[in-house]
A and B are shown apart, each in its own frame.
Chain A
Amino acid sequence: MSASTSTPMPLGEQLKRRKPIVFREHHHPGEELGRGLTTFQLMMFGVGATVGTGIFFVLSESVPEAGPAVIVSFLIAGLAAGLSALCYAELASAIPVSGSTYSYAYHAMGEMVAVVIAGCVLLEYGVATAAVAVGWSGYFNELLDSTLGFEIPASLSTSFIPGDDGVATGGLVNLPAVVLVFLCMLLLLRGATESARINAVMVIIKLSVLVLFIVIGLSAYNADHFNDFFGSGIGGVTAAAGTIFFSFIGLDAVATAGEEVKDPQRALPRAIIGALIIVTCVYVLVAIAGIAAKPAEFFGTDEAQSAGLSQILNDVTGSTVWGTVLAAGAVISIFSVTLVTLYGQTRILFAIGRDGLIPKKFAEVNPRTLAPSFNTIVASAVIAVIAGFVPSDYLWDTVSIGTLVAFSVVAIGVMVLRRTHPDLERPFRIPGYPVTPILTVLACAWILIKLPGITWAIFGIWIAVVVAFYFAYGRRMAALNHVSDLEEIAESRGDEED
């Protein structure tokens, strides 16, 4: 294709234009990708990436919506996440380029879809970083209180915007969350990376404190708390599933590792389903332990809003020791979650910048630090503002909506690609086609329609802004407009491992 045109391309054609798949002829030296990962390792990788994104905070948001039936909400969200991950895995294996959902969409479904997905993914990672930072702030304050006996005052640790209930917060800015985001920014600017080993340590910390919570929570088991199990109705259960969906983000990380396993066709679904089962079990047990220990009404209180799990442990044991241990574990591991999510955000911006849909400046690498500095600073600044001023109530639903829409598009993309490119080599083909992708879309749609109106409004405005920006900027500046030699847009395969 030679798209080196002086006259602009017809709009319809450009919106449908797909980025061709070209690989660099000269691969970077270094070992070729070892297909070394076993199914078990991959599964643990998925567990590590997933556990901890939301479970430390999500009960206080979802239990008021669903009551004790929040357990069912976890199952629904898990099912949707698992199906989505399977679809994602097929798309990732059919298009072996580096990147995220955005990159796959650009190659498979064209520029317009890619732009929308870019909006969704930026929302997913950007807002998730902010949400996690806000949650961290709560546990950090709890830890300060129980170890040093003082707290950062509410005016400096809560946003001034009232939450869902509309009650004034008495806050100004969530300073700890802002500071956390900037700390992570400094680490990324210095080119710091979190290695597989640190990640393993973090996973152990996260799982240990969750097991601690489950054991202590169940010791205070009170069956009365499960009365009126479905009191909030199916609507409440689905709404809670939407909020909870956020805590399954990370499962898709398994999907992009298809290149690294020996037999993707067998290993990928096993790893995804295995990770899903482990994660869902942990989450459901945490939910059961939480509800067993405390009546559903407790989760709606201000006390439960920040550092909810710690509070429950304190109340159950009558001592602050275990709550402090849990808060310490949360503070350490959520720090790493924030770092990794922020990192993901910068690299996605990098990919979009490289394609010219946002200014190329986002794809520049600082030759001194070998890290994309400009990109990291801009992304961190925006996220810090969100973390500082937006209450968590709005954040989690917003992350979920972005992710759910992106995953629905992925599932549709799998079906589209099967029809348009039936001969494409697919190391992993989704089992149960076409039922599985259809089921994925339905599951995502079911959760989506129950998300609150304000979330839809935020999402709609954001996507409108993204699309408007595309027409104002990206449409003219897209790298594909100026390609004369395909090597220019060639990319490395997504096959690194350290």
Chain B
Amino acid sequence: MDRWLENVIAVSPDNCAIIEKSYESMFADKLWVHDLIRNELGKLGIADKLYVCEHHVSHAASAFYPSPFNEAAILTMDGVGEWATTTIGYGKNKEIEILEQISYPHSLGLLYSAFTFFCGFKVNFGEYKLMGLAPYGEPIYANLIKEKLIDIRDDGSFRLNLDYFSFTNKSVMTDEAFEKLFDTPRRLPEEQITRKYMDIAASIQVVTEEVVLGLARHARKITGCKNLVLAGGIALNCVANGRVLKDKVFENIWIQPAAGDAGGALGAALYATYHLSDIPRTVESTDSQRGTYLGPKYSVEEIEIFLKNNKYPYRVYEEKELYHQIARYLADNKVIGLLNGRMEFGPRALGGRSIIANPMSEEMQSKLNLKIKFRESFRPFAPAVLRERVADYFELDTDSPYMLLVAPVREEIRETNDTYGEKYTGDDQIDMLQVIKRKRSTIPAVTHVDYSARIQTVDSERNPYFYRIIKSFEKITGCGVVVNTSFNVRGEPIVCTPDDAYRCFMRTDMDVLVMENCVLLKEEQKPLENDESWRNTYELD
């Protein structure tokens, strides 16, 4: 409330919009959120003291405590917490200390969100789309952004020029000043994406990477640590993470897979645990996040009861046969929905609730985007690769179990006849599909236009089931990689239950659904009844 009132005062007398927009949510919701928490906990039979953990300390705790480090520099970056938008901290054993911070309204998260809004995507949801769009453009506005919008110091600290932003006094992120600066109106959602917006996306991505790198270097300097942990929404910018890794600012990096505010819940719980109890902190050599498979799970028995009750045709495979069968479907270019074990905690599907496919197919990216996910054609897909083979395909030889690092596809597997660049000069209306369908490597479905890939390494310890599927696929095809995307369609949450999974399977062009040992083929299913209007259920993201 203090920050909100300070904001109201700071933009006086032009504070009507901000009062109108936020008054009710402040006084009716946010101030009483503890009532809601107490009520919900009461229903679970829990009635105890309620502790509140500072927003960025929650992020810091979510990054440090589950990490494999006893000592680390901690960098958190997001839109805004109470006041902090960026913090640099130091963690050792059970203690966390915030050393320095940057405060609202100067926020890297809000800067990135302003560009997300300007490029026609939804704030707080579409930031990853902006990141995915960036490689299609050239960063020709990066200097303009640094001249006019953000002042970056050599030590990585920064300040926004509020003359160009409207989040402090309006209900939108940007207005006429932004449009004038870039000499173009804000792109409206679902409008065609022209080269201009691709260049703008590329430019803000480059600036973001520069700031993150500067912050990381400063964190190294003031902590002296060789390990870095990251959290906060900006830590989901895996391209920036890849830059920090490549720059070797730190010897080791660990990123909280639920780096956004959801992960704050985990961090707050861990912080309270270590400060209100005598429970010792145990540092595990991989990490303590358990592959981030922390959600609900369903047994084979539960799944079979669901399938039998609904009379859905399926077959059950013995374990050894199952992996081989799934691999054969993949090799035949079938698209498979996978529900296995516990659901992932965090925004990335990592083999628990995933759609998987053959990465060697040239048609797969556009097929998955347009017929399975119903999403924008430009968006890339991620590879899930056997840990021991990651260096065969990518310029990376470290664990990336949470799909939070981006690295280039190795030159040896790139297509030499790729004419990347020619289509991008002076042509405002790029034929996106033509660009996407161009084969760039031996694994085209997971090679982005700039040869980058957002990598998930899969090992037999964190997810043996998923590992064995890829291993079987490798035996048949020689390829140790599969396409891995979240099991949902655009705008919907990722599926959780067998019922969610079955509905999503039936509503799309997916060919096969695998739930633990149970396999369902689309061709054997009856269409869902009275399901014509399902796409109106969720707002597009």
Do the two shown chains form a genuine complex with each other? no
Interface residues of B (CB under 8 A from A): none
